[in-house]
Amino acid sequence: MSPKATVHKLNLQLSDIDRHYYATHALTLAQHPSETDLRVMVRMLAFALHAHERLVFGRGLSSEDEPDLWRLSLTGEVEQWIELGQPDESRLRKACGRAREVVVIGYSGRGFALWWEKNAAGLARLDNLRVLELPAATAEAMVPLLARNMNLQCLIQDGQVQLLGESEALEVTPIVRKETTLRQ
C-alpha cells in the first residue's frame, strides 16, 4: 500500500502592494509522500507571489504534463506556467511555447546556482521566461511555518515578501535572475 498525501489547509491573507492585489485565499496543499516540507512552502510562496483568482496548483510531482502552478484564461489558454526547482531546458522551451509567461523559482542554493550557470545562455532567448531564486537559508526558514492548518499573512512590497505566521515572522527577497522581455 502506497503512502497517502499529507493535506495542509492554508488561509492566506495577501496584500500585494506591487501588483495592487488584495485577497484572502483558502488553499488546500496536498503534499506528495516524496515531497519535502521545504518544497511545499516554496509552492505556497509561489502562489503568494503570483496570486490570481484563476491560479491553481497542478497535480505536482505525479504529473509531467502540468507545472507546479498554472493559470488558465477563461478560454482555456495557459496564461502562466510556474515551475519549481531546476527543470530541463527542453521542458521550459515547451512551456514557453504553450504559455504567455513561464516562471521558474529555484530554491536549492548552490545546486540552483550551478543549474543557472549551465542554462542561462540557452534560456536567455526565451522572451516569456522569468527566473527567480530564493536564497537557500531564506527558503529553509519558511519550513517552521508549515502546519496541517495554517493562517498566514503575506505582504509584498518593492519585491520583498513578509510572511507572518501565528508565532513567527519572516522576510523573503527573491533574486531575479531573468526577467521577461515581453510586455504584460
Mean pLDDT, consecutive 10-residue segments, the chain of 184 residues?
Answer: 83 97 96 92 97 90 79 96 96 96 95 96 96 95 95 97 93 95 63
Locate the domains of the chain by residue range: 6-178
Amino acid 159: pLDDT: 94
Edge-to-edge strand ranges of the sheet holding 55-57: 55-57, 69-72, 78-84, 99-106, 129-133, 175-178
Amino acid 96: pLDDT: 96
Amino acid 42: pLDDT: 96
Amino acid 109: pLDDT: 86
Query: Do 41 and 143 touch, CB atoms closer than 8 A?
Result: yes
Amino acid 182: pLDDT: 66
Query: Do 127 and 101 touch, CB atoms closer than 8 A?
Result: no
Task: Fold for 6-178, please state it.
Answer: Restriction endonuclease-like alpha-beta roll fold (3.10.640)
Amino acid 60: pLDDT: 63
pTM across the whole model: 0.93
Amino acid 49: pLDDT: 97
CA distances from 64 to 48, 58, 81 (A): 23, 10, 13
Q: What is the DSSP letter of 2?
A: P
